[in-house]
Structures are given as C-alpha cells and as structure tokens.
Structure 1
Amino acid sequence: MTSTPGTGPDAAGTGAEPHGSDGRPAKPAKRARGGLLGWLREIGIILAVSIVLSFIIKTFLFKAFYIPSESMVPTLEENDRIFVNLMIPRNAALQRGDVVVFKDTKGWLPSLPPSTPNPVTEALEFVGLLPDTSQQHLIKRVIGLPGDHVVCCDASQHITVNGAPLTEPYVNPAETPRPMPFDVTVPQGTIWVMGDNRNHSSDSRFHDAAQPGSGFISLDDVEGKASVIAWPLNRIQVLDNYPGTFSAVPSPR
C-alpha cells in the first residue's frame, strides 16, 4: 500500500526542520540563562547598586561616625555609632544645642602614632559602608553661634548666652561641672562648642584659654549635625538639641 503525500510518518516527524512564516528555517529559541551564573550576576548587580547608593548617601546626605571618647556622656557613650546629617549647615543653619561633628583642623587632638592601613576597611569607609574611624574629627554641642556673647558663669554658676542663663539638662548629672571662667564673643563664621561631660571634655574652653581665639570652630570645618544613634541597638534614638534650653536667649547685639 502506498502512502498519501502529507500523511506519512515523516510529514510532521522529528526529521522535519521547522519553518517560519516567511518560509525560512526558524531559529531555535535561546535557552534562558539560569542556575548559579544567573544568581551570581543578580547578586553582583545588587551589590553594585548598594555601593553606589551608599556612596551618594554618605557624600550628600548622611555619614556614619563612631564615638571614640567619653566627652559627650551621657548623650553619647564611647563606641556609639551615629549618623550625621550633612545637609546642616550646608543647606540649613545650625541651632544652639545642636550636636555637631567637625574636622580637627586646629590640632585639638593629640597626634596618633603611624598605623598600618587596612585597604578593605578604608574602602568600606570611603563608600560609606563602615563608619569613619579616622579619629580626625571631634563631636561637641553648639553653645554659641556667630555674634553670641557666652560667659561662664553667673552667680548661680550657670553659663549665659547674650545675658540669658542656661539650664542644661544634657550635662552629665553624675558630676558637678567644675567652673572654668571665660567671657567670649563668637566671631562671624564660627561657633563655640562644649562637651556634655563637662569635667572630661577638652572643648572650646580649654583651647581658648591656652591660646585666645583657638577655641572657635569654623563653620567650614563642620561636617554636619549628629542626628541619630544607630548602634548599639538598645541605644537607637534621635538626638535632642533641647530647644527649650535656648528659647529665652535673645539675638546677639
């Protein structure tokens, strides 16, 4: 028996080459990449995007620092990790009571012995994935703004700003501050800063006493306003600048 054309076993069998609508042989579909290679590729993309975003954030918005000393106890404990708002004072004015991080351009810190650099740590700090550990920065609270007249102390041992006495709830309650007399007017473009742990903070008071004028911090050296304690977990909180403490301070003359 003969087979009718088109109805034999090879008419639609595996030996026939598929054709497209234009009559040409159809190209075989590419197999989608998957498995380990695809998974690694996705992880690489995620890491790259994370690094770029982290670098942008730490350059323009927030930067992480760690606290190396006890000068801001009880507000900040040694080894706390904080986030600093870089928009202040870059895009918004500082306020009295703000906690600020500033570069040590005046040599307040003792010189450190040379250490072996760790390229991995330095790279992670550069892109913002680790807090800055360079120890070339200090952190204090703003007490006087440009033009302010800051004095220690009145008859009640209170610091005054433009004649208004300050009640300072942020000062370490574990120790009564030892008065260190000073009477300064803050020059334009600078601030007067003090630590909350007054008896253990080498701040504007000490450096101005050693060399008058060296206690003022240039606004150009201010990295930003410390906004949040991010680590350890049991200390996560937004930092207060105590506006009530400074609400009665008049504008400088």
Structure 2
Amino acid sequence: MVAVSVILALLAVLGVRQFVTEPFRIPSESMQPTLQRGDVILVDRSTRGTAERGQVVVFDGTGYFSSADGSTHFWTKRVIGIGGDEVQCCSPSGAITVNGDELDEPYLPPGVKPSAQEFHVKVPAGRMFVLGDNRENSADSRSQLGAPGGGMVPVERVRGEVRWIVLPPGRFGGAPDLG
C-alpha cells in the first residue's frame, strides 16, 4: 500500500511539472530588477511553445545561445518581438521600436539605456527576439545577431511564461513587470 502511495505521489509531481508549472533558478543579473540572481521562479507550462511581446519566458537556448562555460541550459528573457515584427534600436529619443512604435520599458533599471548596440532586424515567423531587462549585463538576442539563427529563438523552445517568484521568502509572490 505504501509503494502504491509513493508511486501515485511521484506521478502527481511529474504531472504537475510537465503540464502545470516548472521551477527554475535565476543564474545571473540579466533580468534585474524584475528578477534577481538566485530567485526561484515558477513558469506556467500551459503557455509552453507560445510567446507574446512583453512576456518574460524561460526557453531552451541550445544551439541558439551559449554560456561562457559552453554548457547548454535554459534562459529567462523578455520577449521584445515575435514573427513578422521589425525591431530596431534606436529611435531619435533612444528607445527600441517594434514595427515603428517606441517601446515603453518601465522595467529597465534606472539610468540604463534600452540598448547601447544599434540593430535593425525582422523577426522570422515562428521565432522571437528576446532581451534581458538589465541591458548592460545581458547576453540576449543582440549578442547573437551574427550567430546561427541570428539570435532569434524558435517559439516552440519556450518552456513557459514566468508567473511567480517562490524563493527567497522575502520575494515570494507574483513577479512584478512580467508583461
């Protein structure tokens, strides 16, 4: 009877992780101030394989993004453009534009420019252009523009949208500025 209970509990945990929510730890400062290094977040698995402008998502960057140590892992970034969008930096006022409209980016750290790097891209269908909120300290689509895929990740690689911060206890709750 105990073995059946343990098996059912394990199946329930695996089912929740696969279909409901999945935890990830934020490994860097690239999403500050929205997410802090060391935060444990939960992503909504019902949104896997989808992306909308402004969402903060976790995605598998294997083959599109690389880490300093050469390992592959999941990345957490904000979706700036999706298939068909024209994303450019910068407008005369210094803003990033999407389809000619300036982005309002209240989530950027005070004093941080939307981008020190100029770019002008058209996002292919089924892909997304992503940036970290801490633009001065983020490896994101801008840093991969010359790489295979041009820094634009297939939307099918999205594991889910970030919904909650669960650790540390002082930051528990719905994450701010998550689109």
Bigger Cα Rg: 1
**Which structure ranks higher in relative contact order (CA pairs < 8 Å, sequence separation ≥ 6)?**
2
Instruction: Confirm or deny that 1:197 pairs with 2:134.
Output: yes
Once the two structures are TM-superposed, the CA of residue 222 in structure 1 deviates from its matched residue by 1.3
Give the match for residue 71 of structure 1. 30
Secondary structure at the counterpart of residue 165 of structure 2: strand
Which stretch of the first structure deviates more once superposed, 78-87 or 45-54? 45-54
Once the two structures are TM-superposed, the CA of residue 112 in structure 1 deviates from its matched residue by 5.0
Runs of 5+ in structure 2 lacking a partner? Answer: none
Runs of 5+ in structure 1 lacking a partner? Answer: 1-40, 114-134, 243-253
Does the aligned pair in 1 maintain the 2:61–2:153 contact within 8 Å? no
Cα distance in 2 between the residues matched to 1:174 and 1:158: 13
Identical counterparts, % of pairs:
37
Normalising by structure 1, we get a TM-score of 0.64
Give the match for residue 219 of structure 1. 155
Cα distance in 1 between the residues matched to 2:110 and 2:30: 13
Q: CA offsets, 1:96-152, max 9 Å, x none?
A: 110111112224213358xxxxxxxxxxxxxxxxxxxxx611110000011001000
Instruction: Confirm or deny that 1:229 pairs with 2:165.
Output: yes
Does the aligned pair in 2 maintain the 1:100–1:226 contact within 8 Å? yes
Give the match for residue 39 of structure 2. 80
Once the two structures are TM-superposed, the CA of residue 75 in structure 1 deviates from its matched residue by 0.6
Cα distance in 1 between the residues matched to 2:139 and 2:103: 20
Aligned letter for 1:73? Q
Aligned residues: 177
Aligned letter for 1:161? V
Q: CA offsets, 1:208-251, max 9 Å, x none?
A: 0x337421011121111111111111101213333xxxxxxxxx
Map 1:136-147 onto structure 2 (within 5 A).
136-147=73-84
Does the aligned pair in 1 maintain the 2:59–2:74 contact within 8 Å? yes
Map 1:32-51 onto structure 2 (within 5 A).
47-51=6-10
Give the match for residue 116 of structure 1. none
Secondary structure at the counterpart of residue 150 of structure 2: coil
Give the match for residue 184 of structure 1. 121
Give the match for residue 166 of structure 1. 103
Normalising by structure 2, we get a TM-score of 0.89
Secondary structure at the counterpart of residue 102 of structure 1: strand
Once the two structures are TM-superposed, the CA of residue 51 in structure 1 deviates from its matched residue by 2.1
Structure with the higher strand share, 1 or 2? 2
Once the two structures are TM-superposed, the CA of residue 89 in structure 1 deviates from its matched residue by 3.6
Once the two structures are TM-superposed, the CA of residue 176 in structure 1 deviates from its matched residue by 4.1
